[in-house]
Amino acid sequence: SEDGSHFTWWPLIWNCIFSICAFFVTSKVIPGFVAIFIQAGFFGIDMSKKDQTVKVAEAMGVISGAVFLITMFFFIPIPFAWNLARMSFVQHGNQSTAVVAFPHHEFVEFITAILCVCTMLFLGFADDALNLRWRDKLFLPTIATLPLLMVYYVNSNSTTIIVPYPLRAIFGFSLNLGALYYVFMGMLAVFCTNAINILAGINGLEAGQSLIIAISVAIFNLVEVSGAYREACVFSLYFLLPYIATTAALLRYNWYPSRVFVGDTFCYFSGMTFAVVAILGHFSKTMLLFFIPQILNFIYSIPQLFKLFPCPRHRLPRYLPEQDQVTMSTTKFRPQQLHPLGRLIYHIFKRLRLIHVTKPADNVASAQQEPFLECNNFTLINLVLKIYGPMHEQRLTILLLLFQVVCSTLAFLIRYPGAKLFYDV
Ligand code: UD1
Ligand code: MG
């Protein structure tokens, strides 16, 4: 056809080949940069190890991210090769005009998606270098999505959603969310980036969960590729395969015992990649299904994130050197001094046995002050430790990653058989 809607599997096959190369390049390059990063001050101390003097290179996500971008840069012409080869120009005096239609809208989406990931990688690295404040972490991903939202507006501007059966009596068959839809997409980027960052603190967890999400979404795209949204799925796979390859290489070094830390750079870069493919692939709701553990962790964390409950700088599990195991980390508080809402949440959580509260033996109530209590930090990692007791760090990572896999399976069950209850699919 002349309109550029020609389809072949070749670009995807080339993408696979590029991704395999990207895996080996990342694997090769990371060790070489460890010393350079430590030299430059990009290092952290692994808090769950006996030796607290070993420097572990931090922000290594910038390497996997850079290899990802380079792979994408080389890949840019390939999906458009068919169009490029058939493009001929007619000369009118000084002007030359393309005769065969080139899919400019697809091309712009592609370039903008790369721009957004690139921006986020840069902002993430800035965060690792400068240790930005909490509110900047919300602000940065919003800024980085603006170009994408602009392209979305120009290209499709579809802000209409199909209403699920139970709600159709109220809203009708479909609902145009208008500007709200853009707010939702902006928030998706903020959520994806930060949700991965706060489910962190043990070796291999950040990269591991991101890898499982990416593989799950890639499987979802492969299933859907024969359907009506083929272009969107293929587009998403172009990004996900190199992402999976570079992240897998990073995970090799981040796995227990970590030789490198991924840094906030990686969390931002990952979250943005997911947000970009979800927005341009029009599957934001399905994307969120693959974030179930992150959503649970976020909801559980809300009291601490919004300062309704004391939140220490680090909420990662506490290391027990004698047993070489990790256990729940805790925070101290006095119930009467909590924010009223925080106190309410505290009582609800205690009732639901979501938290473990103890009274430290060494503190006696004085005349003026009630004694302080101690309870675990509100993270999914600590919740797992509350349920199963102290365990070895690697075991804990594996357990949490298995939970991520189970949730992905659940996501497929909800997406396929489950969706029939709410939509006609
Ligand atoms: C987030 C979490 C914080 C958690 C931290 C761990 C919230 C609001 N913030 O903060 O509670 O403690 O991630 O990454 O939930 N580290 C290890 N082992 C690891 C990974 C990291 O000891 O496997 C330590 C290292 O000292 C490393 C540091 O964590 O330098 C990195 O923390 P950073 O990513 O800067 O913390 P935040 O993302 O701000
Ligand atoms: Mg972090």
pLDDT digits (tens, 9 = 90+) for 191-211: 999 999 999 999 999 999 999
- Res 419: pLDDT: 73
**pLDDT tens-digit readout, 133-178:** 878 888 889 999 999 999 999 988 788 888 877 888 888 888 888 8
97 vs 415, higher pLDDT: 415
Average pLDDT over residues 312-319: 96
Residue among 261, 265, 326, 378 to mutate when testing ligand 1 (max atoms within 8 A of CB): 261
- 85: tokens are 């080869």
What is the number of the ligand closest to the CA of 58?
1
Look at the alpha carbons of 30, 258, 409, 424 in this order and tell me if their dihedral is positive or negative: negative
Confidence at residue 425, expressed as pLDDT on a 0 to 100 scale: 58
> Can you tell me the distance from the alpha carbon of 67 to that of 269, in angstroms, rounded to the nearest whole number?
12
Q: Given this model, what pLDDT does residue 134 score?
A: 79
Residue 368 has pLDDT above 70, yes or no: no
Query: Does this complex have an ipTM over 0.90?
Result: yes
Which segments within 130-209 are labelled E, that is strand?
160-162, 174-176
Q: How far is CA 102 from CA 15, 105, 121, in A?
A: 21, 9, 30
Comparing 24-33, 96-105, 218-227, which segment has the lowest mean pLDDT?
A: 96-105
**In angstroms, what is the span from residue 109 Cα to ligand 1's centroid?**
34
Q: Is the pLDDT of residue 58 over 70?
A: yes
Matching residue, tokens 């969706």: 419
The pLDDT tens digits for 228-244 are 888 899 999 999 999 99
Determine the average pLDDT of the residues in 42-66: 96
Residues forming a β-bridge with 91: 96
At 379, the amino acid letter reads T
Give the chain's radius of gyration (CA, Å): 24
Distance of CA 325 to the CA centre of its chain: 27
Q: How many Å lie between the centroid of ligand 2 and the Cα of residue 197?
A: 5
> Mean pLDDT over all residues of the chain?
91
Region 351-367: mean pLDDT is 81
Greater confidence, 4 or 283?
Answer: 283
Instruction: Check residue 5 and give its pLDDT.
Output: 56
Q: What's residue 366's pLDDT? A: 63
Question: Does the pLDDT at position 8 exceed 70?
Answer: yes
- CA 57 – CA 258 distance, rounded (Å): 9
The residue whose C-alpha atom lies closest to atom 38 belonging to ligand 1 is 197
Predicted pLDDT of residue 226: 84
CA separation for the pair 5, 154 (Å, rounded) = 20
- What is the 69 CA–ligand 2 centroid distance (Å)? 21
CA dihedral 205, 207, 212, 218 (to 10 degrees): 170
**Is the per-residue pLDDT at 305 higher than 80?**
yes
The answer to whether 294 touches 357, Cβ cutoff 8 Å, is: no
* C-alpha 316 to ligand 1 mean position (Å): 7
Percent residues over pLDDT 90 in the chain: 72
> What phi and psi, each to the nearest 5 degrees, are found at residue 211?
-65, -45
Mean pLDDT over 45-56 rounds to 96
Distances from the Cα of 283 to the Cα of 112, 166, 195, 243, 248, angstroms: 18, 21, 18, 18, 24
Query: Each residue of 386-403: pLDDT tens digit?
Result: 999 999 999 999 999 999
Closest CA to 61 of 222, 258, 225: 258
Helix (H) or strand (E) holding 91: strand 89-92
Q: Please give the pLDDT value at position 272.
A: 97
CA distance 246 to 62: 11
Cα separation, 309 vs 335, in Å, equals 10
For 180, the enclosing helix (H) or strand (E) is: helix 179-198
- CA 85 to chain centroid: 37
| Residues with C-beta less than 6 Å from any ligand 1 atom | 44-48, 58, 197-198, 200-203, 258, 261, 264, 314-316
Whether the predicted pLDDT of 76 surpasses 90: yes
Arithmetic mean of pLDDT, 51-66: 97
Give 167 or 27, the one with higher predicted confidence: 27
Band of pLDDT at residue 294, cut at 50, 70 and 90? very high
Closest ligand, as measured to the CA of 203: 1
Has residue 224 got a pLDDT over 50? Answer: yes
Distances (CA, A) of 32 to 24, 25, 35, 63, 202: 13, 11, 7, 11, 23
Count, residues in the chain: 425
Q: What's the confidence (pLDDT) of residue 1? A: 37
Please state whether the predicted TM-score (pTM) of the whole model is above 0.90.
yes
How buried is residue 191: exposed, middle or buried, by Cβ count under 10 Å (0-12/13-18/19+)?
buried
- Ligand with minimal distance to 381 CA: 1
CB neighbour list of residue 91: distance below 8 Å, 6 or more residues apart: none
